[in-house]
Amino acid sequence: CKSFPETLLFQLLGLSIATLSTVTHYGLHFTLMSNVSLDSNAYRVIHHTAFYFGICLSMTLILAALLSSAATVRESQCLTAMGFFCFALAFCGLIPAACWRYTHSTEVEDSMMDVYDFVYEEVRRNTSSFRRHELTAIHEAFLCCGKHSPFGDTTNVENKTCPPGQVHGEGQDCLQEIQDFLKKHMDFVFSLLGIAIGLTIYGMILTSFLWFSIHFSSNLYRKGKYILR
């Protein structure tokens, strides 16, 4: 059937979104910062929301692809309408997500850097040995060492928490590393959102054409009974 390549394409898109959502949620960098962040910080909310949104979106796209394929085989207007509804539902979720990313372009990066700032200052004030272990884990995950502080008394903190082999003053600034890491990741997410929006529009057009094709019996497999006279 001619729609099978499109079905495979939408299924791959859904699996790609699900994979990216899983990596974002369970990846070392993201889980580490999420566990450290306070309830007042927006990062934890963004972290969980992005995961559940991605999983729901991927399931919707895969379901839409399967419904469209089944509708083509069975020439069912009901299945075609359900497939169109799933594509429309995915589109209605993708547009707000893309708009949010455009209007809050640095919110994710800022919230993650705020988490690092909080942990770093807690260690600098020597208020918690547990925070020192968290800061060490962050440095090892991002392969960075401390930050440029206006207080100028960060050498002691960095000597205790930086990865072995990184000398003070030669290590990468963690705030810059976190920002660069997230910028690359979010650029990839935004590109995938753009592809998903384009393919979702294509899916709505395809299912609409299929519905009218079935409705007017203009597809290749015409229905009807023939009586010989």
pLDDT score recorded for residue 73? 82
The fraction of the chain above a pLDDT of 90, given in percent, is: 36
Angle at 37 between CA 32 and CA 39, to 5 degrees: 140
Whether the per-residue pLDDT at 11 is higher than 60: the answer is yes
Whether the per-residue pLDDT at 217 is higher than 80: the answer is no
In a domain, 213, yes or no: yes
pLDDT score recorded for residue 52? 95
Whether the per-residue pLDDT at 16 is higher than 80: the answer is yes
In a domain, 42, yes or no: yes
Which residue, among 158, 159, 162, has the nearest Cα to 140 in the 3D structure? 162
Number of domains in the chain: 1
pLDDT score recorded for residue 212? 82
Q: What SS3 class is residue 38?
A: coil
Whether the per-residue pLDDT at 96 is higher than 90: the answer is yes
> What is the tens place of the pLDDT at every residue in 111-159?
999 999 888 888 888 756 788 888 989 988 888 888 876 555 556 777 7
* Predicted model pTM: 0.81
In a domain, 167, yes or no: no
Whether the per-residue pLDDT at 223 is higher than 80: the answer is no
Residue 64 class from Cβ within 10 Å (0-12 exposed, 13-18 middle, 19+ buried)?
buried
Which residue, among 65, 229, 36, 212, has the nearest Cα to 131 in the 3D structure? 36
DSSP sequence for 131-172: HHHHHHHHHHHHT------TT---HHHHHHHSPTTPPTTTSP
The HSE-up count of residue 129 (CA atoms within 13 Å, CB side) is 0
Range of the domain at 127: 3-162+172-177+185-228
pLDDT score recorded for residue 152? 53
In a domain, 22, yes or no: yes
| Average pLDDT score over the chain | 83
> What is the tens place of the pLDDT at every residue in 18-75?
999 999 999 999 999 988 887 777 888 899 999 999 999 999 999 999 998 888 888 7
Whether the per-residue pLDDT at 215 is higher than 80: the answer is no
In a domain, 217, yes or no: yes
The fraction of the chain above a pLDDT of 70, given in percent, is: 84
pLDDT score recorded for residue 127? 59
Whether the per-residue pLDDT at 189 is higher than 50: the answer is yes
Instruction: Look at phi and psi of residue 76 and say left if phi exceeds 0, alpha if psi is from -120 to 50, else beta.
Output: beta
